[in-house]
């Protein structure tokens, strides 16, 4: 039987605001425990913005984990260790997601006597307010804000309500016809199909998914999320709902709901949990129906700076020099979903200044900058990469970003732009840095033009970081050890460790991703080989002799630093023929 508190289905309670008294009390506790010196506390009080915890941690005075442990010691309560805690659904149901966020608390388990709750602050007055909402005694465990936010996102899954909507869908006889006529789907915002699509997108954003796959599979519809580059199945729905799901997505994306055989593309803009999200939609006919892939772009996520991307410091310094050239072309190469756009935007962020006219042409414009002129491709309106690039050249640009070189016309204009005194940034699909030059040759661009225009090529991949919350020692397989040693790696100083899987990383052992970079600087010797149409292997040997470190070597460096595992590198980066 699921137990619910009085407020479990009502509106969220008023927030318990943090006051100056709360910060003063926390300051006294930290000073008394010797965690913070009085002068450090005075300096933090003088800073503007955020709570005292935020100001102290931002200044590097103390960590969130130390503050949590200090509060726990002072109030003689425990610390919540989400690596081992099992969160009970009946306990979570005592509060809604909004209530948990507002009260800064997450119920973990319950018994006849009390509810065990993870809280940020176990002060008596806060526990009393929480107990009043729960109508139960509270047994507190202190946690950090970072851990609490992760745990709330994991505990309150939007897809948990999908079963009810699916049952409602199947209970309606008319919905068999709705899959074809769709009046109910497009008009009634409370229709089950509408709710299922909304919940799927909402949970995908909470899970940091980059893509959502809706796939017909026999008499079932499988829904999978791509999280940190790996697909994971999240829902298995009856096949009868498949056509209606596809049609609802098509309506949102402004696509033709009648056409079911030809591939279609669309775009959705919506707000999810107060965040602005852009979604690129692609449909294609497969055996059993239509498959939909939605690529999610969370516009609220901050842009990365170059030093945050994962480049080694010497590579980042050299790259930063290259993108400040007055003319020439820097190409970012890699597969779809390899982080090329993120690197290009980080580069633009470095170059953005009032003295420069920065212009971009993209499909789609993923992030908007107030001080950068951005052009959105619209082929129906006649705005193509090649045509838009021609118009940019008449706009007196200093830096041009071409979202992607897809055809020979775009490539030719980009090369000519670099030759005529502009600096061009662009992306290209290629397996590694040297291959990108040969792709331009294959497109039909003359070798001497490539040699004269391209300054550097940066190839990149993304690998998953080991989850730091569940690291544990392990012994790599002989194949993994041979791989690491073969590319000059060594055992990490702290020993071989990998994520064993915990609440935070959805039991995958990995959380977030980091870039792996291979930078080929086009020197005079490289230019000679380009003009001579030298073999790929010869070009690669020359680049390595001039200091280029390959993707595999850079990835193994991350393994030796303990950032990721050999198994993840072997999964993510192609190594044959190297």
CATH number of the domain at 374, please: 3.40.50.300
Contact 359, 399 (CB under 8 A): yes
Residue 104 resides in a domain: yes
Contact 421, 399 (CB under 8 A): no
Could you tell me the pLDDT band of residue 161, with boundaries at 50, 70 and 90?
low
Would you call 112 helix, strand, or coil by DSSP? coil
Of 298, 320, 345, the one marking the end of a domain is 298
Contacts of 507 (CB under 8 A, 6+ apart): 501
Residue 5 resides in a domain: no
Task: Mark whether 288 and 349 lie in a shared domain.
Answer: no
pLDDT at 329: 96
Mean pLDDT throughout 499-523? 90
Of 298, 325, 357, the one marking the end of a domain is 298
Preceding omega of 364 cis (within 30 degrees of 0): yes
Q: Work out whether strand 138-142 and strand 78-79 pair parallel, antiparallel, or are unpaired.
A: parallel
Task: Mark whether 312 and 229 lie in a shared domain.
Answer: no
Task: Mark whether 363 and 229 lie in a shared domain.
Answer: no
Task: Classify residue 18 by its DSSP letter.
Answer: -
Mean pLDDT throughout 270-296? 91
Of 123, 156, 189, the one marking the end of a domain is 156
For CA atoms 330, 461, 201, 468, give the dihedral sign: negative
Residue 177 resides in a domain: yes
Number of domains in the chain: 3
Task: Mark whether 282 and 391 lie in a shared domain.
Answer: no
Would you call 431 helix, strand, or coil by DSSP? coil
Could you tell me the pLDDT band of residue 171, with boundaries at 50, 70 and 90?
low
Hey, how many other C-beta atoms are within 10 angstroms of the C-beta on 154?
18
CATH number, domain with residue 137 = 3.30.300.160
Q: Which residue has the higher pLDDT, 366 or 34?
A: 34
**How many Å apart are CA 186 and CA 24, to the nearest integer?**
54
Work out the angle between the directed axes of helices 242-252 and 192-206 (0-180°, nearest 10).
Answer: 70
C-alpha torsion angle, residues 120, 124, 130, 134 (rounded to 10): 130
Measure CA 452 to chain center.
36
Could you tell me the pLDDT band of residue 173, with boundaries at 50, 70 and 90?
very low
pLDDT tens digit string along 71-122? 999 999 999 888 778 888 888 889 888 888 888 899 999 887 789 999 998 9
Task: Mark whether 103 and 252 lie in a shared domain.
Answer: no
Contacts of 123 (CB under 8 A, 6+ apart): 22, 25, 75
Task: Mark whether 183 and 330 lie in a shared domain.
Answer: no
- Indicate the burial class of 125 (C-beta count within 10 angstroms; 0-12, 13-18, 19 or more): exposed
Task: Mark whether 313 and 367 lie in a shared domain.
Answer: yes
pLDDT at 187: 44
Task: Mark whether 354 and 369 lie in a shared domain.
Answer: yes
Q: Work out whether strand 264-272 and strand 115-119 pair parallel, antiparallel, or are unpaired.
A: unpaired
Residue with tokens 């040297």: 434
Residue 15 resides in a domain: no
Q: Worst-scoring range by mean pLDDT, 148-152, 327-331, 550-554?
A: 148-152
Highest-pLDDT range among 131-145, 194-208, 341-355, 514-528: 514-528
Task: Mark whether 343 and 382 lie in a shared domain.
Answer: yes
pLDDT at 190: 56
Residue 13 resides in a domain: no
Residue 93 resides in a domain: yes
pLDDT at 282: 94
Q: What is the pTM of this model?
A: 0.75
pLDDT at 491: 92
Q: Which residue has the higher pLDDT, 386 or 456?
A: 456
Measure CA 480 to chain center.
27
**How many Å apart are CA 95 and CA 148, to the nearest integer?**
14
pLDDT tens digit string along 2-18? 333 334 334 444 445 55
**How many Å apart are CA 317 and CA 323, to the nearest integer?**
10
- The rounded mean pLDDT for the chain is 85
Task: Mark whether 312 and 190 lie in a shared domain.
Answer: no
Q: Cα–Cα distances in Å, from 274 out to 151, 161, 212, 270, 441?
A: 19, 20, 20, 9, 46
**How many Å apart are CA 80 and CA 151, to the nearest integer?**
11
pLDDT at 298: 79
Could you tell me the pLDDT band of residue 552, with boundaries at 50, 70 and 90?
very high
Percent of the chain with pLDDT over 90: 43
Task: Mark whether 568 and 431 lie in a shared domain.
Answer: yes
Hey, how many other C-beta atoms are within 10 angstroms of the C-beta on 508?
17
Percent of the chain with pLDDT over 70: 89
**How many Å apart are CA 329 and CA 462, to the nearest integer?**
23
pLDDT at 338: 86
pLDDT tens digit string along 400-445? 998 888 888 888 888 988 988 899 999 999 999 999 999 999 999 9
- Please list, residue by residue across 519-529, b when 16 or more beta carbons sit within 10 angstroms of its beta carbon and e when fewer do: bbbbeeebbeb
Contact 190, 238 (CB under 8 A): no
* Residues making up the chain, counted from first to last: 578
Residue 88's domain spans which residues? 20-156
Task: Mark whether 316 and 378 lie in a shared domain.
Answer: yes
Residue 7 resides in a domain: no
pLDDT tens digit string along 214-233? 999 888 999 999 998 889 99
Contact 20, 110 (CB under 8 A): no
CATH number, domain with residue 213 = 3.30.450.90
Residue 127 resides in a domain: yes
**How many Å apart are CA 576 and CA 483, to the nearest integer?**
12
Q: What are the start-end ranges of the E strands in 467-553? A: 471-473, 497-499, 510-521
Hey, how many other C-beta atoms are within 10 angstroms of the C-beta on 36?
22
Mean pLDDT throughout 248-277? 90
Say yes or no to pLDDT of 295 above 70.
yes
């Amino acid at each position: 039987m699921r137990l619910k508190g009085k407020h479990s289905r009502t509106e969220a309670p008023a927030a318990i605001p943090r006051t100056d008294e709360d910060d003063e009390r926390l300051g006294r506790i930290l000073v008394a425990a010797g965690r913070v010196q009085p002068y450090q506390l005075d300096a933090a009080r003088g800073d503007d913005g955020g709570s005292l915890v935020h100001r102290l941690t931002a200044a590097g005075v103390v960590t969130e984990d130390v503050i949590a442990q200090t509060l726990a010691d002072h109030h003689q309560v425990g610390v919540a260790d989400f690596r081992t805690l099992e969160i009970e659904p009946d306990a979570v149901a005592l509060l809604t997601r909004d209530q948990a966020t507002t009260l800064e608390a997450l119920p973990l388990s319950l018994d006849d006597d009390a509810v065990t709750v993870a809280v940020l602050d176990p002060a008596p007055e806060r526990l009393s307010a929480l107990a009043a909402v729960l109508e139960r005694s509270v047994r507190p465990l202190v946690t950090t804000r970072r851990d609490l936010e992760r745990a709330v996102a994991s505990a309150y899954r939007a897809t948990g309500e999908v079963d009810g909507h699916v049952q409602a869908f199947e209970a309606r006889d008319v919905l068999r016809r709705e899959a074809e006529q769709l009046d109910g789907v497009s008009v009634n915002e409370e229709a089950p199909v509408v709710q299922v699509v909304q919940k799927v997108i909402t949970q995908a954003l909470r899970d940091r998914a980059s893509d959502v796959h809706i796939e017909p599979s026999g008499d079932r519809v499988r829904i999978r999320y791509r999280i940190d580059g790996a697909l994971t199945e999240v829902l298995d729905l009856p096949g009868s709902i498949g056509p209606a799901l596809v049609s609802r997505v098509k309506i949102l994306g402004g696509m033709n709901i009648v056409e079911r055989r030809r591939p279609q593309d669309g775009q959705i803009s919506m707000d999810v949990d107060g965040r602005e999200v852009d979604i690129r939609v692609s449909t294609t006919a497969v055996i059993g129906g239509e498959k939909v892939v939605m690529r999610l772009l969370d516009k609220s996520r901050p842009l990365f700076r170059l030093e945050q991307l994962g480049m080694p410091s010497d590579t980042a310094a050299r790259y930063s020099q290259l993108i400040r050239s007055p003319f020439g072309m820097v190409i970012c190469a890699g597969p779809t979903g390899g982080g090329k756009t993120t690197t290009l935007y980080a580069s633009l962020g470095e170059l953005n200044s009032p003295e420069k006219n920065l212009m971009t042409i993209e499909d789609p414009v993923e992030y908007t900058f107030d001080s950068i002129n951005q052009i959105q491709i619209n082929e129906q309106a006649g705005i193509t990469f090649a045509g838009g690039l021609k118009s940019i050249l008449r706009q007196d640009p200093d830096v041009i970003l071409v979202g992607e070189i897809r055809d020979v016309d775009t490539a030719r204009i980009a090369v000519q732009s670099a030759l005529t005194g502009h600096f061009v940034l662009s992306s290209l699909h290629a397996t590694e840095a040297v291959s990108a030059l040969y792709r331009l040759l294959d497109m039909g661009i003359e070798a001497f033009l490539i040699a004269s225009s391209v300054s550097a090529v940066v190839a990149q991949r993304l690998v998953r970081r080991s989850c730091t919350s569940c690291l544990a020692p392990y012994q790599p397989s002989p194949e993994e050890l041979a791989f690491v040693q073969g590319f000059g790696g060594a055992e990490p100083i702290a020993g071989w460790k990998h994520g064993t899987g915990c609440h935070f990383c959805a039991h995958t052992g990995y959380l977030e991703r980091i870039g792996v970079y291979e930078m080929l600087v086009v020197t005079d010797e490289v230019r000679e080989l380009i003009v001579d149409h030298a073999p790929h292997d010869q070009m690669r040997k020359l680049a390595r002799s001039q200091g280029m470190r390959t993707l595999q070597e850079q990835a193994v460096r991350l393994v030796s630093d303990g950032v990721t595992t050999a198994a993840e590198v072997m999964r993510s980066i192609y190594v044959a023929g190297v």
